[in-house]
Every structure is written in C-alpha cells, then in structure tokens.
A = this chain, B = another copy of it.
Amino acid sequence: MDNIGEADMKYTNQRVEIIAFLREHKGHPTVDEVYDGVRKKLTRISKATVYKNLKFLSQKGLLEEVNVKGVTRFEANFVPHHHLICRKCGKMDDFQSEELFDYSMKIAEDIEGFSIDSMSTNFYGICKQCKEDTING
C-alpha cells in the first residue's frame, strides 16, 4: 500500500485512487469529474463512495473543498494560493502570489476576536477563452 498519509483510517483502493486523481489532475474537479476519472481504474466504484470519501478526506485534511457559483469542487493543492474565477464559464484557475498571501495575513493579525489560520482571495472576471468567444461568435 502506498503511503498517502498518517491519518487514522483505512487506505482503501477507492481512497488511494481518489487522492491520486486529484493530485495528478491540476484543476478543481466536481464530484462527477472525480467519479468519471476514478472509474477508469476502479470500474465498479459507487458514486456514493466518491461522495463519502471526498467529504471524509476533506475533513481529514487530505483534500480541500471549494465552492464556486453553487458548484462544489475539490483539489489537493495545499500550497497557499488564490483563484481566478470566470463569471461567464465558471472556470477556476489557481493563482499563486506569496506576496499577496503575506500581505493579507499581516492585515489579518490585527483582527480582534477572530483567530485566523488561513485565507484565500477570489478574483472575478472574464477568462481569455470567454473573451475570444465574445469577439467571435
């Protein structure tokens, strides 16, 4: 069994493949996208298992759940980063800026009565693809 962490849980094939998929796939897949991806290796996996494990592994800290426009997505990128979100197509890209992260956390230190442990900035706008689609047809 590959060692994928030290959490107190069974390392089932289903969990290993879900985590592997999210580590390889550098996007922010939905439940269905994870399900379709993992099914290529584990053809008999149940969607209920995918749901349960995505939630479970997020609680264990092995994945992160993100939510955009009412759509639940998952990722395994634990390098602090921000997001570029397209208002048109809903695409969500990572955007890394240690500079912004440090600045934000410094400001956060001054907030009273709220212990902050993490932060993330969402930038909203129109992606390159959608801009081109608007210009053309």
Contacts and interface: CB of A to CB of B under 8 A. Distances in A.
A97 interface: yes
A107 B111 contact: no
A124 to B, nearest CB: 5
Q: Which 3 A-B pairs have the closest CB atoms?
A: A113-B128, A116-B125, A121-B121
Interface stretch (A11-19, A41-49, A98-106): A98-106
A67 interface: yes
Contacts of A69: 67
A57 interface: no
Nearest to A72: B70
Contacts of A118: 123-125
Contacts of A107: 97, 99-100
Contact of A67 (B70, B99, B113, B121): B70
A126 to B, nearest CB: 5
A121 B120 contact: yes
A114 B84 contact: yes
